[in-house]
């Protein structure tokens, strides 16, 4: 067999392989993708359509659909709160580092979702943008947060020990003798501390939720949250599933 004949057969084999891929293997192999992005990300067997449940509001309490914020990009949602002492800042810093390492970061919108609207409303965007100028902040009314949590399988609740302590403190204040020293009584025009001044922690989901441009939930990014593996997993998911 001559050298030119060998080259001819090599080219023919490449053409046949390409044809087989496009006609029979064009769809992404989900099992292979699952393996390649684990453990940084866990793919759902099928994308979950939950866009009708995502009723968010912005800093001005204006109804803000996720579609307005995502703007046809993939969306990575992180649930937390601005006064979180450690976990939230660390997680958002890691998401920022991952986005810096990504090749497809221009196709991803990171959204910080506050689970503590009473204290965070008005400071959502400022908090999110402190980690990356492209990050955006949203929250929801308390009843909507419950619906969103159920739809997405996430959770949040005030730490019970602190909640109990607050209730005990409140009951103690109200049980003071009416004849106690006036210096312990509230001045007539004085208002009780607002919820924004309250001190408590909130337990919340540590996973990051990834939505495709159609706002279908496609994956969870679970512990351990390491920037490099996260960046690689996000790039792979966007590249492979973005071909559909």
Give the annotated binding-site residues.
84, 88, 172
d(CA 69, CA 121): 17
The domains of the chain, with CATH numbers, are 73-170+203-244 (3.40.30.10)
Are 137 and 128 in contact, with CB atoms under 8 Å apart? Answer: yes
> What Å distances lie between residue 225 and 4, 37, 94, 167, CA to CA?
52, 13, 7, 35
Tell me the pLDDT of the chain averaged across its residues. 80
Lowest mean per-residue pLDDT among 11-20, 86-95, 201-210: 11-20
**Averaged over 133-145, what is the pLDDT?**
95
Residue numbers in the known binding site for Cu cation are 84, 88, 172
Quote the tokens at residue 129.
């943008």
Q: What is the rounded distance in angstroms from the CA atom of residue 208 to the CA atom of residue 210?
A: 7
Strongest mean pLDDT among 9-18, 19-28, 85-94: 85-94
pLDDT digits 0-9 by tens, 159-179: 755 454 444 444 444 444 443
29: confidence class by pLDDT, cuts 50, 70, 90: confident
More confident residue, 227 or 168: 227
The SS3 assignment for 41 reads strand
Mean per-residue pLDDT, 58-81: 96
């Amino acid at each position: 067999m001559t050298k030119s004949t060998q080259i001819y057969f090599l080219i023919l084999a490449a053409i046949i392989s390409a044809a087989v891929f496009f006609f029979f293997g064009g769809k992404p192999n989900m099992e292979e993708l699952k393996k390649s992005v684990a453990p940084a990300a866990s793919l759902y067997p099928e994308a979950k359509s939950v866009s009708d449940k995502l009723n968010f509001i912005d800093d001005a309490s204006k109804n803000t659909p996720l579609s307005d914020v995502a703007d046809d990009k993939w969306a990575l949602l992180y649930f937390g709160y601005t006064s979180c002492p450690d976990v939230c800042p660390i997680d958002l810093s890691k998401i920022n580092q991952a986005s810096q390492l990504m090749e497809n970061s221009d196709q991803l919108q990171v959204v910080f979702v506050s689970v503590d609207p009473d204290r965070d409303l008005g400071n959502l965007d400022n908090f999110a943008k402190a980690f990356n100028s492209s990050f955006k902040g949203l929250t929801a009314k308390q009843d909507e947060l419950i619906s969103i949590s159920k739809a997405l399988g996430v959770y949040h609740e005030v730490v019970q020990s602190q909640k109990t302590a607050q209730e005990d403190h409140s009951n103690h204040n109200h049980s003071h003798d009416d004849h106690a020293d006036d210096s312990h009584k509230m001045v007539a025009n004085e208002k009780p501390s607002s919820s924004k001044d309250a001190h408590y922690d909130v337990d919340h989901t540590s996973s990051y939720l990834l939505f495709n441009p159609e706002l279908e939930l496609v994956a969870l990014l679970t512990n351990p949250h390491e920037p490099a593996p996260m960046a690689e997993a996000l790039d792979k998911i966007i590249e492979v599933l973005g071909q559909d």
